[in-house]
Amino acid sequence: MDAAALRAEFPVFEQLAYLNAGTCGPLPAAGAEAASGVLARAVEEGRRQPYFAALLESRERLRNAYAELLGAAAGDVALTTCTSEGIVRVLAALDLGSGDEVLSSDEEHPGLQGPLAAARAQRAVAIRVVPFGEIADAVGPATKLVACSHVSWLSGRVVPALSAIADVPVLLDGAQGIGAVPTDVATLGCAFYAGSGQKWLCGPVGSGMLWVSPQWSERLPASGPTYVNLADPGAGLDAVPHVGAARHDASAQGLETIAAAAAALGVLGGAGWDAVHDRAATLAGELADALAGRGREVAPRDRTTLVSWQDADPAATRVTLAEAGVIVRDLPGTGLLRASVGAWNDASDIERLLCALP
Ligand SMILES: Cc1ncc(COP(=O)(O)O)c(C=O)c1O
């Protein structure tokens, strides 16, 4: 892999040691060009039939690209606006109510916690929270769903093997998984995988995907079918949702969003996904080692792209680092700072972070 060539695709590195893909990935110039090209044509020509024809075609190409990355069939992948949307759609569609339990973990993001709390408040679903590392062994008789992260946003740990959970569907929050680490939905042992396009896939905000296992395809109704979800929208009240995951597609996404997401995938895929994953995890490991070597308390992690460490005042240190051109985030309420390391980073970013740390 030509790491320097990949890095050069992302202009942000001319100025910054950008280590924040866990929030939003760096945008490749190709993604911005694709989006602005679409908008420029729309300004000139209006958004008429060719715009919508291109939109339909681009959507299917993006669906295919996401599916390839997930090791899935395109028909099982919905285009969403973000991880949270996929989670919301799955929870809304599952038949959960009083007496049912959702098993979750203590390292979840508000993108999952919010929908779970709503299920508890509105449908009397019980939510049981166990330590992230113990979730695979904690399924009980009332458990109707396991819902947790593929990769913890707090620590960078990977969820334990889930394949032994046979009778209960698993909803994985893949926000810190897809694009960051190899993601093969067949071996993960989940029924649903919700991911972000704007993080480790370097797409625009407003892109993402939801994979629905073929075993669940017919059992997961469309929770809010609108025009794009209907196989025959002209049939009015008799219209039925698409067969397959397209019934869960987001109601609206512009061609500029789809085009930018696809262009970013092209950049990353062009570098080779195996190499992208490997380089990112290796660099992240080097950062973790260097921090520990300097006496910092690094949160227990796996071979992923996130590195979190204790800091006396994470919010203030984040600002100090940003002033030095180093972009990381703090994780409120945890005492942690978090760096997100991608294949686009290099040793100079890590060095800059280490030198700027107060
Ligand atoms: C683990 C996890 N889940 C969900 C989200 C929310 O992602 P999105 O904005 O794509 O819904 C994030 C965002 O940081 C996250 O880290």
- Per-residue model confidence as pLDDT tens digits over 18-36: 999 999 999 999 999 999 9
> What CA dihedral angle connects 223, 228, 234 and 235, to 10 degrees?
-20
- Percent of the chain at pLDDT exceeding 70: 100
Q: Name residue 329's amino acid.
A: R
Q: How far apart are the first and last CA of the chain?
A: 34
Identify the bridge partners of residue 337 per DSSP, sorted by sequence position: 309, 330
CA of 232 to the centre of ligand 1 (A): 33
In order of their start, the domains of the chain are: 3-29+272-356 (3.90.1150.10), 32-268 (3.40.640.10)
Mean pLDDT of the chain: 97
Q: What's residue 100's pLDDT?
A: 97
Q: Parallel, antiparallel, or unpaired for β 192-196 and 143-149?
A: unpaired
Cα 21 from chain centre: 10
Give the residue, by CA position, lying nearest to ligand 1 atom 6.
111
Looking at the predicted structure, is the pLDDT value of residue 166 above 90?
no
Kindly state the average pLDDT of the residues 222-237: 95
Kindly state the average pLDDT of the residues 224-239: 96
Q: What's residue 117's pLDDT?
A: 98
Looking at the predicted structure, is the pLDDT value of residue 200 above 90?
yes
What would the 3-class secondary structure string for 3-20 be? HHHHHHCCHHHHCCEECC
Kindly state the average pLDDT of the residues 172-189: 97
CA of 343 to the centre of ligand 1 (A): 20
Q: What's residue 165's pLDDT?
A: 86
The three-class DSSP label of residue 322 is helix
30 Rama sector, left if φ>0, alpha if ψ -120 to 50, beta otherwise: alpha
Query: What pLDDT digit, counting tens, does each position of 87-144 carry?
Result: 999 999 999 999 999 999 999 999 999 999 999 999 999 999 999 999 999 999 999 9
Looking at the predicted structure, is the pLDDT value of residue 163 above 90?
no
Q: What's residue 176's pLDDT?
A: 98
Query: What pLDDT digit, counting tens, does each position of 321-345 carry?
Result: 999 999 999 999 999 999 999 999 9
Q: What's residue 284's pLDDT?
A: 98
Atom of ligand 1 nearest to the CA of 152: 1
CA–CA dist 358, 352 (Å, integer)? 12
CA of 175 to the centre of ligand 1 (A): 5
Indicate the top mutation candidate among 23, 24, 196, 331 to test ligand 1's pocket, ranked by most ligand atoms within 8 A of CB.
196
**Pocket lining for ligand 1, CB < 6 angstroms:** 22-23, 82-84, 109, 111-112, 149, 153, 173, 175-176, 196, 208
Q: Between 222 and 164, where is the model more confident?
A: 222
